[in-house]
């Protein structure tokens, strides 16, 4: 059966999103898509690809791409052709790297990692996933916080609260700044986390004496357990004990709701988080890696 690959216009946007639901995470429509469809039936999609033109990664600045082909139509080089479109488009914009959408573990069984490697994608960052057992972690955290409160006046000035919908505006600002994303997109992610019972019960924030937001820890559910979606301290307060205080407060919330533990993850650019995880007895569960492909730059570079 003959297949055609063509740009996805707005009239087929909803169909492309049906194949690539990850695009719904992206605010508004900052993506450009291509579809592979049956030659005689343009509405019958067998594959789709999209590139989100929002820069990511400081070291390898690039756009984020996503390719999917329905199982029955694989092994016909459709994925390669769709990926080529993404690379060309990224190149046309003068952007040198195309990032794979997800992180993959070395033992990836889906075949996607093999496909990406075959297309020239290189390993970029390491992401570590941890599980922290509440019973093991909480006593250590309590001990450490007690010591901090006794000796560090800065710690005494932190006021920790549950994160509620009323705090959304300032949290969204910090969230958006951290990920270089738009405020509506950040607001949507915060709202999604707070829409869940676990998110509401375990998310916490810290303010200073002046009532300014200094940091927050946003939790979301993962396999019935809380997972840290984002744990961050405003850059102006990073030298203080904020991260630890937030973590301790989170652990107290875990104990309150009877959660046996929590998942969290961090990448290799946040050594402080890794160090905290190890110090308080969190156990590594798995590792994954992000991948990116050098696409070159049209016309000699930016």
Partner 1 sequence: MRLLLLAIDQLDRRLLQRCVDAGGMPTLAGLLERGRSGAMAQPQPHATAALWATVATGWPACRHGVLADRTVGPGGWSARAVQPTDWRVAPFWHRTAQPVAVLNWPGTAGATCSAAPALATGEAVARGWLRAPGVAHGDAPLQAWGLDPACVAPAADLEAVRELRVHPDDITPLMLAQLLQGVPEAEHSAPLQALCRSALAELATWQALSLDLLAHGCPQMVLRWDALALLATRLLHDDGRQRISRPWQLLGNLCQLMDLMLHALLQHLDADGHVLLVCAGTLPAALRPGPQGALDRAEPGFAVMAGPGFAADSLHQGGSLFDVLPSLLAASGQLAAPGLPGRSWHGSALATGAARPRAWPAEDAEGADMLSALPPLLDPADLAPPAQRLPLGSDWLQAQGLPLPDLAPLRRIAAETHACELHGLALSLRETGHDAIAEKALAAALDAAPQATGPQWLALLWAAERGDAPAARGLIAQSHVLAAQLPPGDLREAVLACAARDWPVAEPLLRRQLGVRHLPLNVGAWLGRALAGQGRHAEAVDALQEALASPYESLATVQLLAQVQLRLGRLAAAEVSARQSIAMSPDSAMGHALLAEVLAAGGQRDAAIAAQWRACQLAPQLSGLRARWGELVRPSMAR
- Residues that bind partner 1 (rule: CB under 8 A) add up to a total of 54
Least Cα distance to 37 among 28, 24, 29, 47 occurs for 47
**Minimum Å distance from CB 98 to partner 1?**
12
- Gap between the Cα atoms of 52 and 65, Å rounded: 6
Does residue 99 belong to the site contacting partner 1 (CB under 8 A)?
no
Neighbours of 39 (CB within 10 A): 10
In 10 A of CB 223, how many CB atoms?
6
Nearer to partner 1 among residue 73 and residue 131 (C-beta): 73
Task: Kindly tell me which of 185 and 248 has the beta carbon lying closer to partner 1.
Answer: 185
Q: Is 296 in the site for partner 1 (CB under 8 A)?
A: no
Q: Count CB neighbours of 221 within 10 A.
A: 16
State the Cα–Cα distance between residues 47 and 70, nearest whole angstrom. Answer: 6
302 binds partner 1, rule: CB under 8 A: yes
First to last CA, the chain: 42
Least CB distance to partner 1 at residue 156 (A): 23
CB burial of residue 21 (10 Å; 0-12, 13-18, 19+): exposed
Sequence-distant (≥ 6) Cβ neighbours of residue 257 within 8 angstroms: 198, 201, 202
Tell which positions 206-235 bind partner 1, by CB under 8 A.
213, 234-235
Tell me if 281 contacts partner 1 by CB under 8 A: no
From 6, 18, 146, 278, residue interacting with partner 1 (rule: CB under 8 A): 18
Would you count residue 5 as binding partner 1 (CB under 8 A)?
no
Q: How many CB atoms lie within 10 A of CB 31?
A: 23
CA angle 275, 226, 274 (to 5 degrees): 10
C-beta of 27: minimal distance to partner 1 in Å? 6
Question: Which of 254-264 are b and which e, b meaning 16 or more Cβ less than 10 Å from the residue's Cβ?
Answer: beeeebebbbb
Cβ atoms of residues 233 and 246 within 8 Å: yes
Stretch that binds partner 1, among 25-33, 140-148, 225-233, 263-271 (CB under 8 A): 25-33
12 contacts 20 by C-beta, under 8 angstroms: no
Q: Judged by CB under 8 A, which stretch of 92-100, 143-151, 262-270, 286-294 contacts partner 1?
A: 92-100
Among 180, 191, 195, 296, binds partner 1 (CB under 8 A): 180
Per-residue x/- mask for partner 1, residues 27 to 46, rule CB under 8 A? Answer: xxxxxx--------x-xxxx
Least distance in angstroms from the C-beta of 225 to partner 1:
24
Residue 139 is a binding residue for partner 1 (CB under 8 A): no
Of residues 81, 84, 119, 170, which one binds partner 1 by CB under 8 A?
170
CB of 201 to partner 1, least distance (A): 24
Angle between helix 134-151 and helix 242-257 axes, rounded to 10 deg: 140
214: its two tokens = 């200094």
Residues forming contacts to partner 1 in the complex (CB under 8 A) are: 9-15, 17-19, 21, 24, 27-32, 41, 43-46, 53-55, 58, 61, 63, 70, 72, 92-95, 169-170, 173-174, 176-177, 180-185, 213, 234-236, 299-300, 302
């Amino acid at each position: 059966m003959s297949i055609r690959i063509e740009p996805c216009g707005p009239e087929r946007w909803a169909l492309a999103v049906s194949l690539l639901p990850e695009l719904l995470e992206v605010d508004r429509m900052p993506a450009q898509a291509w579809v592979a469809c049956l030659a005689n039936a343009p509405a019958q999609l067998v594959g789709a690809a999209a590139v989100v033109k929002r820069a990511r990664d400081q070291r390898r600045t690039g756009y984020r791409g996503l390719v999917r082909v329905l199982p029955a139509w694989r092994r016909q080089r459709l994925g390669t052709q769709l990926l080529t479109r993404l690379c060309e488009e990224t190149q046309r914009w003068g952007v040198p790297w195309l990032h794979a959408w997800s992180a993959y573990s070395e033992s990836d069984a889906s075949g996607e990692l093999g496909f990406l490697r075959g297309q020239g994608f290189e390993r970029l960052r390491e992401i570590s996933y941890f599980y922290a057992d509440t019973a093991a972690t909480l006593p250590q955290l309590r001990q450490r916080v007690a010591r901090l409160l006794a000796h560090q006046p800065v710690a005494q000035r932190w006021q920790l609260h549950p994160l509620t919908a009323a705090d959304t505006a300032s949290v969204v600002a910090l969230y958006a700044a951290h990920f270089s994303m738009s405020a509506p997109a950040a607001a949507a992610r915060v709202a999604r986390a707070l829409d869940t019972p676990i998110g509401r019960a375990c998310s916490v924030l810290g303010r200073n004496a002046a009532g300014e937001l200094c940091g927050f820890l946003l939790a979301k559910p993962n396999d019935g357990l809380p997972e840290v979606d984002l744990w961050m301290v405003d850059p102006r307060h990073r030298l203080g004990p904020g991260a630890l205080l937030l973590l301790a407060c989170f652990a107290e919330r875990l104990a309150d709701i009877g959660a046996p533990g929590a998942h969290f993850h961090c990448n290799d650019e946040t050594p402080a988080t890794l160090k905290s995880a190890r110090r308080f007895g969190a156990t590594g569960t798995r590792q994954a890696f992000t991948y990116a492909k050098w696409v070159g730059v049209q016309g000699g570079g930016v």
